[in-house]
Structure 1
Amino acid sequence: MKRNNTKPNLLLSSLALGGPVDHGTKSDDSPQVLLVTNKRPRSAVRAVRFSLLEGLLDDQNRLHKIDHSADSSARHRRGAGALDLRRFVRTVPSCEIVHCNLAEPEAWTMLAVGQTLVARFFGKAVVADLGFSIDEESFEHPPLALRLILGLCTVAVVTSEHAATILARRGVHVEQIPEALAPSEFTDRKVNSVQPQVLTVYSQADRSATECVVRAFNSVKAKYPRAEMTVLADDSDGDAARQLTGDGARSSITVAAALTAEQTSSYYAEADMFVNSSVVGGLRPMKKAMASGLPVVSAAGFYRDELIVDRRNGLTYRENDPGALADRIIELVETPRLIGELTENARLSVADHTWSRIGRRWSSCYRRLRTTRRTATAAAAGHHSHQQT
């Protein structure tokens, strides 16, 4: 694959630059949506979901925004929460739907609870967008603020079918909308059997997962001395990842942190395979790897089984088993035909996850919420009129 230095492969970059996005048929009757952000996603990759929504709504001239995250240096000043809530109260009457960005656990605050409560008081539909940063434990035993938000919101939106099932069991009205992929992320690639390039993502919440990958890679390197591995990390996790992996001048493992969207895409373009072992993250990076023609090796279990079927569109191994992981990596290096089969099926698995199709799903979600809200408002008005007569 030839690298394209003028068109970054991430949706975030295209939207930020005002690139063309096909969201389907536009409608002047689209709902007015207020996007509320109290905590921005920590990395460019994790910001893709919210950037899609901003681009979708801004393209339809239906976007209102409140972004408290830009003022992070003053978040703890006296009265900050009250000022933020007053600003929210002034803005919310002009909108029909309030979309709360709750993709980061740090956003599960009493301020978010207050915003949800105020929106419901004004009769607005509330979307609690939990994104893809939530682990199973947070769904099974949510903290107080998240429990209150889930009880107040109109609908909770998640990316994982497994997460949707857990929330539905708790009585939460939930909808699953997958992560979006840019068309430019669907590319071709071949494995370098002489010097395999392995790509993985560091998860501070699941440190043992990266330890497993490092141990497996050392076994691979014993057979292929020129093998190299790159570990992608968020800015705040860079030092921890380097300490864990032994990243240094003489190491074959490189940690890349604080990356722009274009830099992240370049690592996917240069790699030969993607390894995911995290049990609390990795869904979006795995999908990006599948779309970009990278064969994926993933630990089995949890939401990963929704995406990877062993020997159909990827390879799986038992969680925290570095020996099994090393065997899968070596198998990919030594079996080019298998790579072709896996990557072809993988691309088909995520073909419906382009930003145009996901954008239409968000539009449909908003319209359903608007219709339900208007029906309920009309019914309440009719009941009140009947009582007066």
Structure 2
Amino acid sequence: MTFRSKLILLVAVPLCALVAVTVPGVTSRLAVVRAETRAQHLQAPSAALTQLVQVLDNEHALSNWYLADGDLRVFLQLKAARVQTDGAVAALRSVAGELGAAHADSAASSLGDLLLRMQRAGKTRQTVDTRVATLDSVNASYQDSVTQALNVVDTMGFSLSDANEVANLRDFATVLRLAAAAGQERAVLTAGFAQGRLPSNLLQETVGAVAAQDAYRASFEAQASSSLRGAFAARIRSGGSVSDPVRVLRADALAGRFGGTTVAAQRWYDASTKQTEVLFAAARGVLSESDHFGTGRKNTAQREMYVYGAGALGALLLALGLALLIGRSATRALRRLTNAADEVTERKLPHLLDALQTGGAPSDIPDVTPAPVESRDEIGVLARAFNKMEQAVVDVAREQTSLLRRGVSELYVNLARRNQNLLERQIRMIDA
């Protein structure tokens, strides 16, 4: 593997691991955290709207009762109910900012319209106090207010992108509509029992409210998750058999059996109040379970984000380890090669030159000690080339030393031969 490939591997592998491990996991979990955070911002407005619908239903029932018989005791209860309604409106206004935090702009706009409508409720109340309003107009006014409050809950879902939270909000709204339908029946039949008769228009409203309750309950049971159904059933069971007296009195009213108006109206009001309290408690239970579900998902997603963060940290540590390993490997090889080069330039070459200058024997030139080659990368190639170069220099030096010694020997032989010839000539001349 080349040195360049090692460097690419050093950078690419940890980076790819970091991207592959971290980005998809963190992105998906972050989306869950954001979705659940938005849903949590909707909890307070949803609870406040539930309270408002409940107190509006109660004020509606007492308004119908007072219109029907003008009982002063009922009027005092109506005054107290209006105080509760005003308090619920103030509480709802105080949490309106949560819709902005959840980016529920449509719901915030609808809530603004609802609060403006509630500010104008004084006119309807005045007509009830003077008993100049008709039951139809009062029913329409309160039902429109409740419908507008329910529509705010529906528009909250526009800000949610998570399918689970959209479904949970839908199921909560279904139970809230079930409770509101029971409240509508309560108000209409309160007027019927108070005046001792049920006109055809009120009869139709009663039948419609009962049918709506059955439809909303069936819808919730069919589409809600098991945890939400469990929360709903738990609240219904805790209320006991509150629906039985309501069914009996409803059957009497539909059959035209009203009995004494004041006593019958009180019996119906008490029985229907218990039923609506249980239903609104069930709506709050579903809302609470939805919040519990969302909080659990958010916490799980956050924990998993920490896990992915730890994975990213592990990938970075792996990169550091690889960098250290490859760096040390390259550094060791370079250090050996550097030491070998220093050995050649500082000791071997001067010794070799001395041998050449003094005419030493080839054996005086030391053998080559090659630098160790432990890799096939560029550093290994350089080390092998350096070893070959050093060996070539030594071989050339030995060859030159041998040639030099041979030349000197031949020179001495030639000189000896010439001297011999000269001596022989001198001897012959002397003899002659």
Is TM > 0.5 for Structure 1 vs Structure 2?
A: no
TM-score for both structures, normalised by structure 1: 0.30
Which structure shows the higher strand fraction?
1
Task: From the two aligned structures, give the one with the greater helix fraction.
Answer: 2
